[in-house]
Amino acid sequence: MTATPVALESRPEGVPQQSAAADLLATGLAAALASATTATDADVDRALRATRRSLLDLGILLSPAAAPRLEEMAALAHTASVRRFGRVVRLFAPLYLSNECVSTCTYCGFSSENDIARRTLSPGEVAAEARVLRERGFRHLLLVAGEHARVVSKDYLVDCVAALAPDVPSISLETQVWDTATYRRLVDAGCEGLVVYQETYDRDTYAAVHLKGKKRNYEWRLAAPDRAAEAGMRSLSLGALLGLHPEWRADVLALAAHAQALLRRWWRCEVAVSLPRLRPAAGGYQPARPVSDREYVQILCALRLALPDVGINLSTRESPAFRDAAFKLGVTQMSAGSHTEPGGYVEPGGAEPQFEVSDTRSPAAVAEAVRAAGYEPVWKDTIGARVKDASSAVQLRP
Amino acid sequence: MHDPLVIAGREFNSRLFLGTGKFPSNASLEAAMVASGTEMVTVALRRIDVTAEEDILDALDPGRVLLLTNTSGADDAEEAVRLARLARSGGYPTWIKLEITPEPRYLLPDGVETLKAAEILCREGFTVLPYVNADPVLCKRLEEVGCATVMPLGSWIGSNQGLKTKGAIEIIIEQSLVPVVVDAGIGAPSQAAEAMEMGAGAVLVNTAIGTAGDPAAMGAAFRKAVEAGREAFLAGLPAVGRAAAASSPLTGFLTS
């Protein structure tokens, strides 16, 4: 399906040529980053009036000079979103497979150093979780697991996807990153999308928070979306954890540049971004620089204006009041009723969660709030994975 | 005046087709359908889920409108054909709006794959209405393989930019043996009227109605615009010219 194969066999240092990761590393972000601190009112005027916006404009819209113009930005972002995506928001749920992890990441509840109750669901237990989520309305599921190549192995993940594929129209995956061949097996089993957070694009911060494990290899992770796209994943979702890097503007700019690079290189893929703010978790990590509500809204609006066609996800890490107001500024997909511990839908609290959820409302309550805001909650919007027989995705008969 | 639109032998009294994405609720979609007077409604197979408590199809009255399922999301001919066959085996009408848009940003149609899929689906007995770029030659090729209409875009989906491809659409209308439905980019009733004045058989509107402050009222406005544009076309629009044309002849004094 691609004209530019990305040949990766083991886990080499460096990123492959002809990849979005390479394009990103070749992108000079210095000017955009400078404009994010030195922009003037006149720059903000120009960026707001532009019909197409560059990374430089994104920098301007993220700058302190743009902060007092938040209401204007919000109005533009809202209008752009409605025109492009309509008055709809897609709902999905994370399904945690395992909290086993051999990596040490200082901010994560699953970090190997944390003495927590560990659990890995069997494919049968995964199917039971999915049944509960289906009953609650979900047709889009995101399978999440810690990094443990023996317990959460390739074969295990393929088995989980295959177990769900007949009943779940859209399956995405957020686990340790894999090679192209593994992603291809997952696509063939029915996996539609990959979610991979770079966490932070700043190499020093990345090294400082990822102390142990394969995740320390920054570039292997950075090129994971390329490998997934090459393998035929239809959707790619990127993320940065706001609060890790003291300069959040730099991470937002790099994330946007990465999304743009993927859009150009893998023009058939849908690309979305997530920017969760760090939440309390086991291990007691304190964000280096918390992002305020006002700053967060500025980020959402700026991204919507600079990347009008990119999906934006909003997680249950945010409070109900914040989500109900902010989703109208450009969010295309929200999780709802999430449990971040494996088995949490059948048996809540049976294992350690990855982080504390802030919006604890039921999926039905979130859907109702979406409706009350004049939007349609969309539970299904997919034709499934790029496989020969993805018949479950089109549910035309009961 | 009885002036039905005839597609594949079926008569439609409305020349306004409605897309169903982007509406704030099923209720608003239903209201817009009624107010617009539409008789043909397209629904993405990717949105249909009859196992759900509330489905987009619940808003449709099959006695009043023809359900035109579409293959939105299909990347290539193979996927589109698979979706169409699934729709048929699910008992849906065999009218298919063929959309192959491998590029998810502007949702521009892939003419190569569209022609391939159209050929297969027409052969299998589907009534195929393909969404295409405003490419006159491609439209003739689609007509030749048996498509029931051609549906060129006015500008890209959801852009509300109107008839950016006007010149090419004029050629398509001039050459076409099947109804030409202007399918995307129509953002205002005036633009719909413009397409109808040019001789389009129908227009398909979604974003402009679905995202309007009041979708039902906007549906009614589009209904009038489409009717007005059609009537103007039938009445014979006077030619637009640069030179002045005096209403009293300047050479009338010449008696012989």
B140 is catalytic: no
Tokens of B96: 């298919």
Per-residue pLDDT, A261: 95
- What's this model's pTM, rounded to 2 decimal places? 0.87
Residue B156, min C-alpha distance to chain A (Å):
11
Per-residue pLDDT, A398: 44
Collect all residues of chain B within an 8 Å Cβ-Cβ radius of residue A383. Answer: 45-46, 73-74, 79, 83
Residue A380, min C-alpha distance to chain B (Å):
6
B49 at A interface, C-beta within 8 A: yes
Across the interface, whether the CB atoms of B45 and A394 are under 8 A apart is answered yes
Measured over all CA atoms, what is the biggest interatomic distance in chain A, rounded to whole angstroms? 59
Per-residue pLDDT, A394: 59
Q: For chain A, how far is it from start to end, CA to CA, in angstroms?
A: 33
Per-residue pLDDT, B53: 79
Residue A276, min C-alpha distance to chain B (Å):
24
Residues of chain A with pLDDT under 70: 1-12, 388-398
Per-residue pLDDT, A8: 45
Per-residue pLDDT, A1: 47
The H-assigned helical ranges of chain B are: 26-36, 77-89, 111-123, 136-144, 166-175, 189-197, 207-210, 215-235
Angle, nearest 10°, between helix axes B215-235 and B189-197?
Answer: 20
Per-residue pLDDT, A103: 86
B24 at A interface, C-beta within 8 A: yes
Tokens of A298: 């500025």
Per-residue pLDDT, A156: 96
Residues of chain B with pLDDT under 70: 241-246, 255-256
Across the interface, whether the CB atoms of B45 and A383 are under 8 A apart is answered yes
Per-residue pLDDT, A96: 94
> Which residue is closest to B26 within chain A, CA to CA?
A376
A to B CB pairs, distance under 8 Å? 100
Residue A278, min C-alpha distance to chain B (Å):
30
Task: For residue B181, give every residue at least 6 positions away whose Cβ sits within 8 Å of its Cβ, in sequence order, or none.
Answer: B17, B129, B149, B150, B151, B200, B201, B202, B203, B204
> Which residue is closest to B160 within chain A, CA to CA?
A83
Show contacts of B3-7: CB within 8 Å, 24+ apart. Answer: B3/B230, B3/B234, B5/B179, B5/B201, B5/B202, B6/B179, B7/B127, B7/B129, B7/B148, B7/B149, B7/B178, B7/B179, B7/B201
Per-residue pLDDT, A296: 95
How many other CB atoms are found less than 10 A from the CB of residue A286?
A: 10
Per-residue pLDDT, A393: 58
> Which residue is closest to A86 within chain B, CA to CA?
B22
Chain B residues 59-118 with a CB less than 8 Å from chain A: 73-75, 79, 82-83, 86-87, 89-92, 102-106
Closest CB from B21, B87, B102 relative to A86 = B21
Closest CB from B23, B79, B207 relative to A83 = B207
ipTM: 0.77
Across the interface, whether the CB atoms of A87 and B24 are under 8 A apart is answered yes
